[in-house]
Structure 1
Amino acid sequence: MTGIAQFSKFSFSQPYGPGQLYGAPPYSYRNAQSITAVFTAEGTGIGDFLPPGVKVADPEPLALVTVSHYPQTAFGSYNEFWLYVRVEFNGERFMYCVAMYADSEKATAAGRELWGFPKKMAQMSLRQEGGQWTFRAARPADNCMLTLTFIEDSAQESGMRGEISLPTLSLRLIPHFTGEGEPDIAQLLATDNKKTLRQSALGTDERRCGRAHISWISTVADPFEPFVPKKMLGAWFSNYDTDVPGAYALVHDYKRKA
């Protein structure tokens, strides 16, 4: 009988064999361009997005959107955006991943299968024109569900970076093989992705603060009403390199505890 170790020796991910979509982490990212906008959210209904035991950490929910263009990665060149909310689980604070979208098949599959990130495919772009950065994400193609604009206007570091510099929490949820009953896997995972800022021609770190505006258009499949910004708290642009690891901790195993 073939041992379970034989699978990973030949093929790391689905599908088994030569057609696998991605290999094992870490995954290199170089010259990444990202804009992060932090805000308090309207909040009504956020609990519906959170797994059992995970609760919003603040009376006024603290959320963030990060939009990115990755010109060089282990998955090829692609775009992505994330939506996080600050939460608590068993007395510890995390940034929980509520939604994530990418325009890369490989990155979408890896995010869902390895970490349980709620990734979906979308069409998106990030560009700079006339001193303003504009990011748009559409799903389906004729529905621009997210527009984020950003203008640099401050050399000062945003105090909000410390507020959201927490491990990422995600739920890895694999349904029961029959399609009925309790899931086969239900795990809360923690991930911490360290980034190294690139240097400008002047020898300064490539992080610049500014002002951002976020506009959502919700659909039944992508309901963003609870995350409409109530107050913008800070925004910044970053240009960095990173090597994305796998999850570093199993925070909670719902199956084992049950």
Structure 2
Amino acid sequence: MKEEDIRKHAFAMPVHSPAYPRPPFRFVNREYFIISYESDLDAVRAVVPEPLKVEKPIVNYEFIRMPDTTGFGDYAETGQVIPVIDMDGRAASYTHAMYLNDEGPIAGGREIWGFPKKLASPSLSVGGTDTLIGTLDYAGVRVATGTMGYKYTPLDRDAERAGLGDVSNYLLKVIPHVDGTTRICELVRFHMRDVTVHGAWEGPAALQLFAHALAPVADLPVRRVLRAKHIVADLTLDLGEVAYDYLASHEVLKLVNR
């Protein structure tokens, strides 16, 4: 390969056959099952990076099914998203943990935005005739089970669209150098764009989290389930921006302290 060709075509690994296409990515009929629960305030604060702030011990456990995604195909994911206050004093979300069953979005999500994705076996389906069921298995062990009454009460679609599209989302992106030191350590901000909500419902729900050494979702324990909702929507995962550079701020701090 010539140097010019490398610079022109290289955007992802491996160069000769990237694990994912170029973004952005469009999701059609993306299905969310979100259980909001009260957890332990100290435990939640311990996993949310500064300068984001936690005011309440609330965690959103999400099961998501993506049957039609440009470049990624049909897959599922699950994980924990924490409501926070960002540097501008606005309500936002911080994605703490994610578990997927598809290589492309794991690689692309981690390398581009810094999504905290690991390979596992999540699922989202309807059980029997009246129960929405979300599960997570890691290495053959059940880690999470969520259930909800199927389409019990309709929710306002415009309000749910605003909740998906108008809120800033944050990630902690870490990429090592070839010598094992940290090359990139950034707080990344991103948004969902062009959101269309096809349906939204709430209903009675339950959530169980089980201890696992490599999928520690139970480290944010369930004290009380607050509410649950089921949303079907189309949306685009937009490109992100660096909201805070931890390495740059560290260098500035060292200069100030000299």
Provide Cα deviations, 1:230-254, integer angstroms capped at 9, x if missing partner: 222221111111121111x321011
1:29 to 27, 30, 33: 27
Matched, 1:86 2:83: yes
Shift of 1:173: 0.7
Is the 1:42–1:226 Cα contact (8 Å) retained in structure 2? no
Are the aligned partners of 1:43 and 1:227 in contact in 2 as well (CA < 8 Å)? no
1:127 aligns with 2:121: no
SS of 1:44's partner is helix
> 139, 145, 148: which is aligned to 2:146?
148
SS, match of residue 148 in structure 1: strand
Name which of 225, 242, 247 aligns with 1:255: 247
| In 2, Cα distance between equivalents of 1:7 and 1:215 | 48
Q: CA deviation digits over 1:53-72, x for unaligned, max 9?
A: 3332x1x3121012111111
Separation (CA, whole Å) in 1 of partners of 2:110 and 2:10: 17
Task: In structure 1, give the amino acid aligned to 2:230.
Answer: F
Query: CA shift at 1:214, angstroms?
Result: 1.0
Give the CA deviation at 1:138. 0.3
- Structure 1 moving runs of 4+ over 4 Å: 160-165
11 and 239 in structure 1: CA distance in 2 versus 1, 3 angstrom threshold: same
Task: Give deviations 1:102-156, integer Å, cap 9, x for gaps.
Answer: 1000011111111111100111221112200111110011x11010111132235
Return closer, same or farther for 1:176/1:35 CA change in 2, 3 Å cut-off: same
SS at match of 2:106: helix
Question: When you count helix as a share of all residues, which structure comes out higher?
Answer: 2
Structure 1 residue 215 and structure 2 residue 208: aligned? yes
TM-score norm. by structure 2 comes to 0.84
Partner amino acid for 1:256?
A
Is 2:69 the counterpart of 1:69? no
Instruction: Report if the CA contact (8 A) 1:38-1:63 is conserved.
Output: yes
- Structure 2's unaligned 5+ residue stretches are 252-258
Distance 1:193 1:156 in 2: 20
Cα distance in structure 2, aligned partners of 1:137 and 1:8: 40
Q: Could you tell me which amino acid in structure 2 is paired with residue 62 of structure 1?
A: I
- Answer yes or no: is 1:10 the counterpart of 2:6: no
Equivalent-residue separation in structure 2 for 1:256 and 1:178 (angstroms):
19
Contact 2:37–2:58 (Cα < 8 Å) also in 1? yes
1:32 CA drift (Å): 1.6
